[in-house]
Amino acid sequence: MARRVTRQYGEPMTEKFDSRNPATGDVVGTFPVHTAEDVNAAVERARGAAAWWGDLGYAGRRGRLRAWRTQLVQRIDELADLVHRENGKPVGDAISEVVLAAEHLSWAAANAARVLGRHRVAPGMLAINQTASTTYVPYGVIGVIGPWNYPVHTPLGSISYALAAGNAVVFKPSEYTPAVGAWLAESFASVVPEQPVFQLVTGSGDTGAALCRAGVDKLAFTGSAATGKTVMASCAGTLTPVLIECGGKDALIVAGDADLDAAVDATVWGGMSNAGQTCAGVERVYVVSSVYEDFVARVSRAARLIHGGTHYGPMTMPAQIDVVRRHIDDALARGGRAVVGGPDSVQPPYVQPVVLVDVPEDSAAVQEETFGPTLTITRVRDVDEAIERANASPYGLGGAVFSAKQGDQIADRLSCGMVSINSALTYAAVPGLPWGGLRNSGFGRIHGPDGLREFAWPRAVTHQRFAPTIRALTFRRTPRDVARLKRVVQARWGR
């Protein structure tokens, strides 16, 4: 991040940084590098806003969140153009991203009361004289730290659900996409002008670290596993709970009875779209031997028609280009073959499609997140071997399966948080489904009922309706009460 220090007359010194168009280098916007004091002040302001927002109740918040969704949709061209300029992805992809975000925002607003409102539960034998219920209480202030690859959809996956649950939010976007973050905060403020319910802080990792330590009530992080560990460590000091959504190394399995046309289309889209910069993008493909040759030939033909700069944009973060180059070089040095592209496909700021075969399973291209438009395709004996290899990853975010008859059985055996059968990444479009992973892909869930509960804590309440028939929880308990208690439990469970 290139920083510079500026001072306006009579004002304190402020550090600023530019966000730039990754394709052209043009400045998209200039933003303050917020210090720990700035972040603390934002969290302090958020406290009051959280109380006001909480008091609006589900219905009041639903109306505001719907108005915000309408803003996103009415101004979709403006937002998509900004995403295109700042992140680099084609406008069509940016529009899809906003559509997805609007769908989730809508769902969170519509379902918060149903999911988080009071639920009666059966009191059970020992508390037959009580009614029992659970309510979900918003934490208060949620810190959200987001990545640059889906700068609208990904942070809103936390922000929409946190707001719908009744929290205020302080959001630190990636230093590569602060203008999109600012657009989101400003558009929210235009429909909720009364209080700073959704604030933005900008800067680098230091600003994110300050947010972790600012006394937020929960921190929702989306980014790499390496930063996720640092975030957890920062939050540990104050026992601040964390939600961690990290990267993936998602596998797509092609069984012998798969619709190969559909599998090829999903493989190329899932692997190359957004220049492969998708946390749940397809990076590894395991294909059953009987259809392997045909599948590789078809994927190769399809991938050769895809062009970085037309079908997808540049690499948003320059440093990622070195990772992609290293994975390709390492795979080839260890006996892999490139059937599409190769080392020359790395043409900064673009990377053209690369399809690798015969890559050893312990190489970087199979073990680490590449986050580029590359695929490894591996021949497997049968579906069992495909599942075993798909699961042998330090990551466990998503996966995809292509099979006419065995889709559900294969999906049930995959050790990852999300699976699409006969398509790729489709679970992202279903707002009622939870989103999240296992192992290095993190823990906790956004989206769906689980995503709402992630931003509220459960309060258990019992309400005594009449005196207990057997006195158990009192010093007035007599030996006769204990004997009755014993008889009841023996009658119930002892036979």
Q: Which is nearer to ligand NDP, 1 or 461 (CB)?
A: 1
Q: In which order are the strands placed within the sheet that holds 14-20?
A: 3-6, 14-20, 27-32
Rounded to an integer, what distance in angstroms lies between the CA atom of residue 201 and that of residue 211? 9
Stretch that binds ligand NDP, among 117-125, 208-216, 380-388, 453-461 (CB under 6 A): 208-216
Q: Does 274 bind ligand NDP (CB under 6 A)?
A: no
Q: How far is residue 261 CA from its own chain's centroid?
A: 29
Within residues 388-427, the interface with ligand NDP by CB under 6 A covers 397
Within residues 310-369, the interface with ligand NDP by CB under 6 A covers 317, 369
Site size for ligand NDP, by CB under 6 A?
Answer: 32
Q: Which two tokens stand for residue 246?
A: 């990290």
Q: Does 147 bind ligand NDP (CB under 6 A)?
A: yes
Q: Does 444 bind ligand NDP (CB under 6 A)?
A: no
Smallest separation, CB 372 to ligand NDP (Å): 11
Q: Which is nearer to ligand NDP, 369 or 454 (CB)?
A: 369
Q: Does 40 bind ligand NDP (CB under 6 A)?
A: no
Smallest separation, CB 72 to ligand NDP (Å): 19
Is there a contact between 44 and 168 (Cβ–Cβ < 8 Å)? no
Q: Which is nearer to ligand NDP, 96 or 222 (CB)?
A: 222
Among 196, 208, 341, 349, binds ligand NDP (CB under 6 A): 208
DSSP assignment string, 300-328? HHHHHT--BTTTB---SSHHHHHHHHHHH
| Phi-psi domain of 425 (left: phi exceeds 0; alpha: psi -120 through 50; beta: other) | left
Residue 275 identity (one-letter amino acid): A
Among 279, 287, 366, 452, binds ligand NDP (CB under 6 A): 279
Is there a contact between 441 and 422 (Cβ–Cβ < 8 Å)? no
Q: Which is nearer to ligand NDP, 61 or 447 (CB)?
A: 447
Task: List residues with catalytic annotation.
Answer: 245, 279
Rounded to an integer, what distance in angstroms lies between the CA atom of residue 400 and that of residue 251? 6
Rounded to an integer, what distance in angstroms lies between the CA atom of residue 258 and that of residue 411? 14
Among 18, 175, 250, 368, binds ligand NDP (CB under 6 A): 175
Cis peptide before 348 (omega within 30 of 0): no
Q: What is the DSSP letter of 100?
A: H
CA nearest 102: which of 61, 178, 156? 156
Q: Which is nearer to ligand NDP, 346 or 368 (CB)?
A: 368
Q: Which is nearer to ligand NDP, 146 or 434 (CB)?
A: 146
What's phi and psi for 136, nearest 5 deg? -110, 125
Q: Does 227 bind ligand NDP (CB under 6 A)?
A: yes
Which residue ranges make up the site for ligand NDP (CB under 6 A)?
145-150, 154, 172, 174-176, 204-205, 208-209, 212, 222-224, 227, 230-231, 234, 245-248, 279, 317, 369, 371, 397
